[in-house]
Chains A and B, each alone.
Chain A
């Protein structure tokens, strides 16, 4: 009996990390993996989603609507920023890194000044359940399912809808896509906004589980980059396996040595993967199947 409980505890931890890595990585993967833009302000879009969610919920909106607000707010900000700034930097890698870092700095400090060091948070819904000596949050146990659902939804979006197909075409070869009638600048901004909205959704989903502080983006950005780098450019193919591998490593290390060592383990994994599988897991899959 006790062994099953231990096993579930480990699985719960694993699934929790898995969900976190997938959700963190989604928005960034769309923007980096598909568009080649390094968005160092990704954590701040997450923060934006979290803050708007908390404030809307405190203002009286039911939680799911508050989360919707958070997601849309982040998407809107993404749209605006893409229009004003990002679109000038598409073929300037270093400059986009520096610019998004600047945005991140401004956003973090700005939020600190406007909203103070922290705001009163939300209660995690659905309570908890107990197994043996452990108590588990129902909400967090459900998040992995949400992550998988989102992956499925995105797959459908990119493979079955017109937007998705145009988007992938534009990203592969913008000139060709334009020649075929796609409004490429609109697609770039929509794709960027989608990435921002997904980040906002992540913030919204995790808002009830943590305190909203202006620097919370930093806690997410590391995980985001880790999962995107290990995943490789093809989000659909690589993100879930990448998150699974990383979650496993992190859970194992955290269990034996604690949080911080778990974090270090993730970072070291990234370093090894960059060296050994430079195109990430999806690149490795594609190479093995003999394509491209």
Chain B
């Protein structure tokens, strides 16, 4: 299987320190990868570099074989990348329905858009709250709304930054099932997570980040067995 997303020698310097200090990452098409690591390891920064919110100090980013390092974020999204931010990035003052429409309207029109809108609303269980302002949703529902918006783009690669933050165990489990379902349909997904139960639920392959570098990579069982990894951050598995 070809690598759909790659970073080579990626570095990001922020007035004093290297948030990302030489990351070589390779995600294969159709993978479901988890990115873990202690706080401050640079996980969210890595996502922002991939999407183009930050410019790298060094290194390249390849998507579907093309060098996208100097592309503007919206162009990267148009090529098939999508992200769900750590802090819910939705349109709080707009109704749920409008949030989804804005996500859908680039790719869909007319009846097809309405159909897709219904499908997404059903997916995240918000059919009866479609006219509700997004700010009135619970935190978990807002996370789902954002996931639905990110998914609405039908991306080739979906980046999820802590999708279960603030969710109850039931919501977390549902999210895990949703992620697995999306991956089963062919979407490549990379997930940053702290919740180890969630990682165990969905992960096939795990990358550990520490001080801006890849510390270890492998299946979750391999990672857990690596004592150094346990030492740097896990404390509970």
Contacts and interface: CB of A to CB of B under 8 A. Distances in A.
- A contacts B directly in the complex (CB < 8 Å)? yes
Interface of A: 287, 290-292
A121 B123 CA distance: 74
B16 interface: yes
Main secondary structure of the interface of A (DSSP, over half): loop
6 contacts: A287-B15, A290-B15, A290-B16, A291-B15, A291-B16, A292-B15
A291 B16 CA distance: 7
Contacts of B15: 287, 290-292
Interface string B3-47: 000000000000110000000000000000000000000000000
A269 to B, nearest CB: 26
Interface string B68-112: 000000000000000000000000000000000000000000000
Nearest to A289: B15
Contacts of A287: 15
Contacts of A292: 15
A94 B204 CA distance: 48
Interface of B: 15-16
Nearest to A286: B15
Contacts of B16: 290-291
A242 B16 CA distance: 26
Contacts of A290: 15-16
A160 B98 CA distance: 53
Nearest to B16: A290
A74 B86 CA distance: 45
A102 B16 CA distance: 44
A292 B15 CA distance: 7
Contacts of A291: 15-16
Nearest to A287: B15
A246 B235 CA distance: 57
A85 to B, nearest CB: 24
The 6 closest A-B pairs by CB, nearest first: A290-B16, A290-B15, A287-B15, A292-B15, A291-B15, A291-B16
A283 B15 CA distance: 12
A292 B17 CA distance: 10
Nearest to B17: A290
A290 B15 CA distance: 5
A10 to B, nearest CB: 38
A287 B14 CA distance: 10
A162 to B, nearest CB: 30
A218 to B, nearest CB: 35
B92 to A, nearest CB: 14
B118 to A, nearest CB: 36
A5 B21 CA distance: 59
A287 B13 CA distance: 12
A73 to B, nearest CB: 41
B34 to A, nearest CB: 32
A291 B14 CA distance: 9
A292 B16 CA distance: 8
Nearest to A288: B15
B48 to A, nearest CB: 18
A74 B163 CA distance: 51
B141 to A, nearest CB: 25
A287 B16 CA distance: 9
B54 to A, nearest CB: 16
A278 to B, nearest CB: 15
A290 B17 CA distance: 9
B16 to A, nearest CB: 5
A277 to B, nearest CB: 15
A237 to B, nearest CB: 16
